[in-house]
Chains A and B, each alone.
Chain A
Amino acid sequence: MIKIKKGLDLPIAGAAERRITYARDIGFYAVRPTDYVGLVPRLLVAEGDRVSAGDALLCDKNDERVRFVAPVSGVVKAVVRGEKRKLLAVVVERREWENEEGKKNEHIPVFDRPSKEGTAATANSQFSILNSQFLKESMLQQGLWPMLRQRPYGTVANPDDTPKAIVVSCFDSAPLAPDYDFALQGREQDLCKGLETLALLGAGCLYMCFRPGQRLAGVVGQYTPLHRDDAKVVFVEGPHPAGNVGTQIAQLCPINKGETVWTMTPQDVAVLGHWVKTGEYCPERVIAVAGPQAKNPQYYRIMAGACVERIVRSQLMNPDYPAFKMADESLKQVRVVSGNVLSGEQIAPDGFIGAYDSLLTLLPEGDYYDFMGWLLPGLNKYSFSRTFVSGFMQLLRKAKLINDDVIDYKFDTNMHGGVRPLVFTGDMERVFPFDIYPLQLLKACIVGDVELMEKLGIYEVEPEDYALCEFIDPSKTEMQAVIREALEKLRKEAM
């Protein structure tokens, strides 16, 4: 059991209710090269091509074995490019033509689809003869490989590396995060199978991290193929970022220079497991749609890369108004974030969900002036410091003198102040559970001192690990961007 003491849980309203809607009517899906750090994509299809789920759309120019595949069958509707013809997205429109005999599963040479009754037995016996090289090649071939990410750098894992460990965080502690116990309901066996596959894949240890008392932990713990020396169930307790894989890696197997650790999100592990069991590539994902602007926060069952427009509109809908008219007006006042509010990415209201995200957050935009905002008591302003009256309400709440819902904190995208030099010290350490000096590392990154960055532990962090530091910073420094730039600089030097 690992206890994380440093951290912070943000009391944002609008957590998803435990209810799933199957969003089967979503028409557009996209693979976005920008979701993958440092990827230089090569386009393999053209507009108008017919593709099946699992067909490659893109590959990595630097390693053509790494392929990015269509999540659904359909027609390549658009190849979206930005400035300097940078490839932004390949959009696939879902069509039903793929049901023609023989089209499905053409890319799965590894496993025959086991018969319904003998699923477990067949797959297990297959495992015994699998070696990790064979498995790797199959995953690359099928386009499952990009689900594996590596640290440092946060890029897609390099198939030629031997990681020192694989870490899967089976819970998310971020604000409004989905509960995987619920999101993976019914797919527990896929998850177990996927974890088993990962255990076979890496040379290092597989760490599976859970919250104490998590239902999935029990399921995984009882799955006998995972009873092996190099697969460990770990319990992590504490506030966010306890669920961040970076926090867990720092506790379990801190990364030294030259080492890599691989990670995968639990939803992707389930996709992997499903593929191993059935031979079918089905990137199904249950995402939480949450946030102060969500009228009806709940879970949705979608395919990876789905367009979020229908979901967003239905969430903004006011029952008293004609649906789309009202939504059009509200769209301007809402920020759609793929991922959590701390480290997610802003997408357009008709954009596509990020490749690794299981959460869609709808936040109010904070484009307003606040009269004497720095002086007034600030009853509904949330601050980690206790410089506002709300801070004392938090104390009362902790002492159980008032209820949780007495204070309705206002969370929006306002910066709450101007950018200043880094003046205050000692606060970052309170939300940064690493054996790293966050301020000193940040400053080393700002000045671009590579040697110092390495000494101070840059390889152990990703931007998301700095998200809470960025949140509480009175100087409003863009720390995650600084860390990303520093990591990219190191990555390019290492190439």
Chain B
Amino acid sequence: MFDRLRDFITKIKPNFVEGGKFAWLQSTFEAFETFAFTPNTVTKRGSHVRDAVDMKRAMITVVIALLPALLFGMWNTGYQTSLTAEWWPYEQGSAASWWYCLWFGFLRMLPLIVVSYVVGLGIEFMFAQIRHHEVNEGYLVTGLIIPMIVPVTTPLWQLALAVAFAVVLGKEVFGGSGMNFLNPALVARAFLFFSYPTHMSGDSVWIAADLWGSDAIAGATPLGELAAGTMPTASALDMLIGTISGSTCETSVIAILLGAVVLLVSGIASWRTMLAVMLGGGAMGLLFNLIGANTYMQLPFYYHYLIGGFMFGAVFMATDPVTSAQTNTGKWIYGVLIGLFAVLLRVVNPAYPEGMMLSILLMNSFAPLIDHCVVASNIRRRAKRAARKEVRI
């Protein structure tokens, strides 16, 4: 069957190359062709053998890492509705209800995911065609992350706008994946946050009221409660497992940590960045504990890991290799500062309940400066060595 598919692709290929009938679809065709078959190109210059990993494999590994959080997020979307919705058809706690939670969440999430991919990939394919490039796989990850970090009731047209904004202005204007300096998923999130604040924050956006539509059931998130000056009502265990309200897939620390294991074992994401973010956030939380001036400052420091998007940001967004610092030393500095600023913004500026998004975006823009300083020290060391002109053994 594969052979027949291959033969078919080979047969229709001439239509899609320069001068063919559908030359304007070349990038799209190539994207689908290489999706089905890793191409048969062989090495010409340099290393004759190459590592089996390519951009597709690397990106799909990140998508796999996102799956636990995604599945849990779907279930939790249903679960949150089941807690309060009067129309919920099954008895709380029954197996049928458990499965219906997942199904409900799936149906709520599906349109978000579809809109994100269709709009985002559409723009990507267009730009690739105009540039005569191959379609880059980066959006496979971005397009999945965006629906995972918005409230479930986000209107689809707002999501579509945000995605378009993020892909065009966050990425393509700089030259596409690998050239952007801001994490596109966070650009989309920030766009939504600042353009439609009523849909993005407050107490009545997090829990879907029904199978469709943007109506929501009121229900405070821990972050919202803390910003209002009270301790979160959910227990630490609930927050660890993730059975709380919040952005669709950010709530479960356990599911996110499963993803972190995939990323770290496969070597796709930097453990330095992840660890540094945790250390930075923890340090800032401890510092506030010492001051202890209000409820938020008295919050045990490890609660910062459990609430809001801290964990999701640390694992999946701070580690974005394109927008993070690129040197190993730089990654430590970058990560620690993200953690520090995230907690600082949360506690000191309650106007922005979630500091993680802004903190990562802020450090995205400083990452090149951090790298510059790190590399400059290497340059200085080399210059000094040249000045010494000594041979050491």
Interface residues of A (CB under 8 A from B): 10, 12, 164-165, 204-205, 232, 234, 252-254, 256-257, 335, 337, 341-344, 346, 361, 363, 365-375, 378, 381-388, 390-391, 411-427, 429, 435-437, 439-440, 455-457, 463, 467, 470-476, 478-481
Q: At the interface, yes or no: B132 with Cβ under 8 Å from chain A?
A: no
Extra contacts, 5 of them, besides A470-B46, A474-B55 (Cβ < 8 A), are: A384-B267, A424-B321, A426-B270, A456-B382, A474-B51
User: How many whole Å from B333's CB to the nearest CB in chain A?
Assistant: 14
Q: Which residues of A contact B375 (CB under 8 A)?
A: 437, 440, 456
Contact with A along B227-267 (1 / 0, CB 8 A): 00000000000000000000000000000000000000111
> How distant is the Cα of A335 from the Cα of B42 in the complex, in angstroms?
11
User: How many whole Å from B263's CB to the nearest CB in chain A?
Assistant: 10
Stretch at the interface among B31-39, B89-97, B207-215, B309-317: B31-39
Pick the residue among A372, A423, A479 that contacts B177 (CB under 8 A). A423
Assess the A363–B48 pair: CB atoms within 8 A: yes
Assess the A417–B54 pair: CB atoms within 8 A: yes
Residue of A nearest to B33 (CB): A369
Interface residues of B (CB under 8 A from A): 2, 5-6, 34-43, 45-58, 60-61, 134, 136-138, 175-179, 265-268, 270, 272, 321-322, 324, 326-328, 331, 371, 374-375, 378-379, 381-383, 385-386, 389, 391-393
Interface majority SS (helix, strand, loop, mixed), chain A: loop
Q: Which residues of A contact B45 (CB under 8 A)?
A: 478, 480-481
Pick the residue among B49, B61, B137, B326 that contacts A413 (CB under 8 A). B49
Pick the residue among A337, A343, A374 that contacts B60 (CB under 8 A). A374
> How distant is the Cα of A473 from the Cα of B46 in the complex, in angstroms?
12
> How distant is the Cα of A256 from the Cα of B58 in the complex, in angstroms?
37
A-B complex: 6 closest residue pairs judged by Cβ atoms:
A417-B54, A421-B178, A373-B38, A381-B52, A374-B56, A256-B386
Which of B2, B34, B55, B134 has the most chain A CB atoms closer than 10 A to its own CB? B55
**If A253-B391, A385-B268, A475-B55 touch, does A415 touch B379 (CB 8 Å cutoff)?**
no
Assess the B49–A387 pair: CB atoms within 8 A: no
Q: Which residues of A contact B331 (CB under 8 A)?
A: 426
Assess the A474–B54 pair: CB atoms within 8 A: yes
Pick the residue among A371, A375, A425 that contacts B326 (CB under 8 A). A425
User: How many whole Å from B329's CB to the nearest CB in chain A?
Assistant: 10
Residue of B nearest to A430 (CB): B267
Pick the residue among A386, A420, A480 that contacts B265 (CB under 8 A). A386
Assess the B52–A341 pair: CB atoms within 8 A: no
Assess the A369–B389 pair: CB atoms within 8 A: no
Assess the B42–A387 pair: CB atoms within 8 A: no
**If A204-B391, A457-B382 touch, does A418 touch B34 (CB 8 Å cutoff)?**
yes
> How distant is the Cα of A419 from the Cα of B43 in the complex, in angstroms?
11
Pick the residue among A388, A418, A457, A480 that contacts B52 (CB under 8 A). A388
Q: Which residues of B contact A369 (CB under 8 A)?
A: 6, 37-40
User: How many whole Å from A167's CB to the nearest CB in chain B?
Assistant: 11
Assess the A424–B58 pair: CB atoms within 8 A: yes
> How distant is the Cα of A385 from the Cα of B2 in the complex, in angstroms?
28
Assess the A472–B55 pair: CB atoms within 8 A: no
Q: Which residues of B contact A481 (CB under 8 A)?
A: 45-46
Q: Which residues of B contact A372 (CB under 8 A)?
A: 36-37
User: How many whole Å from A449's CB to the nearest CB in chain B?
Assistant: 13
**If A337-B48, A387-B266, A421-B179 touch, does A415 touch B53 (CB 8 Å cutoff)?**
no
> How distant is the Cα of A307 from the Cα of B322 in the complex, in angstroms?
47
Assess the A374–B54 pair: CB atoms within 8 A: yes
Q: Which residues of A contact B175 (CB under 8 A)?
A: 421
Assess the B48–A437 pair: CB atoms within 8 A: no
Assess the A10–B58 pair: CB atoms within 8 A: no
